[in-house]
Chain A
């Protein structure tokens, strides 16, 4: 015989779980803020990624040798490869703590548009990668003796637009890879080929910003990067709901 109710939960009928008081943008920001908060409370990951990036810069420096001209010519490429490799660690991590105790299922069960989850994850990862860049770019400037300060006005827009594209695709493919066992291997295999056009534009634009290149400067690299960003963001946003389905 069932015991009588105690009144902890009020009448439900068939109503939705919560009467919405806030819009999707609040959910997007809540998810981004949560990811930043989790990262902030486990600072070891950020430190490890920055240390990894520093190590890459040093190793590339050894590989290129002491020739300043060679270092300067290769700096933009080295910088972007370092940022992308470091970002892959961040993308995997962003889903790792959703998988640890089944939090991804809880996330998927919240009422609302699942595509908002992409935007939240994207903003959280963007904050992380920009913070890594804030540490890596000055390091590259010192190690490769680059005129970072003088080129800052030209460099920041290129870095920002390039990073948006990298993070958009990274967030999308990390979500896709989170559903399979070999996710650590699968993520770079999916991501790197798709990043090729964006990396070319970002490296060329960064090279122009750092050392100038009269031929390369004829191309509107910022416009190209903005175009890639728009395409990647729109495609990832539209397809993300399907990607998360089991």
Chain B
């Protein structure tokens, strides 16, 4: 009789907040991404750096399910970005260049709409608390059109925080926040990581990113690459690691 060794159960794969495998994305004839592999662990905050046009924003949009990869694929907390996009999307929040606010509505109305669309219903206490948190209580019933750029950015951040995402994607977040907004943004990013969520931040400002990230990934011409001047990086800038 042949003795059969009982099959050893395979070790469960560690759950990744974001796992991208060979992600490529083409816009007409131009490849914005050319096969990116990237893992972000739960609780980890990663900076995505690189020159303009290197594919940082495209990568964030693929991770957010706003763009389908032309080749390759990925998952957010185990949910496939294409086949299970709805579940992946439910775990992602993106703070993009543009605020996505309705300029003819007030901050309160913008947050009330977001609250309903997030499935929370009209949660007035939560909205009022959020307006206070982003220091917009006094402007709650003024049209967004009349708010400053910094106030709009804070309002967009408040909208994101109505239901904090497990994977927070930030696209050049340090450019247009005022001082109060930057402080709030940094505390939010740290809290997402501390709560078991993850942060991926596309930025040119590595000095400031160093305050919230664990490591930096360099993207160049749609591929993850070693940063040429990595050796001379400023003190305090996290180590540069691919994948």
Contact = CB atoms under 8 A, between A and B. Distances in A.
Nearest to B64: A109
Interface size class of A (residues with CB under 8 A): 35 or more
Nearest to B101: A101
A100 B103 contact: yes
A10 B195 contact: yes
Interface size class of B (residues with CB under 8 A): 35 or more
Given A11-B196, A13-B196, A102-B98, A2 B86 contact: no
B102 interface: yes
A106 interface: yes
Decide if the interface of chain B is mainly helix, strand, loop or mixed: loop
Interface string B148-161: 00000000000101
A245 interface: yes
A14 interface: yes
B195 A26 contact: no
B214 interface: yes
A180 interface: no
Contacts of B101: 101, 103
B165 A13 contact: no
A97 B102 contact: yes
Interface string B15-45: 1010000000000000000000000001001
A37 B190 contact: no
A101 B98 contact: yes
Nearest to A246: B67
A16 interface: yes
A25 to B, nearest CB: 11
B239 interface: no
A98 to B, nearest CB: 9
A14 B102 CA distance: 30
Counting chain A CB atoms within 10 Å of each CB, the highest count among B91, B92, B119, B166 belongs to B119
A109 B214 CA distance: 26
B2 interface: no
Interface in B184-206: 184, 186-188, 190-197
Contacts, number: 169
B90 A10 contact: no
A22 B102 contact: no
B66 A109 contact: yes
Contacts of B90: 16-18, 111
Contacts of B68: 245-246
A113 B117 CA distance: 11
Contacts of B17: 14
Nearest to A27: B117
A34 B116 CA distance: 10
A12 B196 contact: yes
A108 interface: yes
B161 to A, nearest CB: 7
Contacts of B213: 2
A-B residue pairs, 8 tightest by C-beta: A102-B98, A106-B100, A30-B116, A18-B163, A9-B191, A5-B194, A14-B77, A16-B90
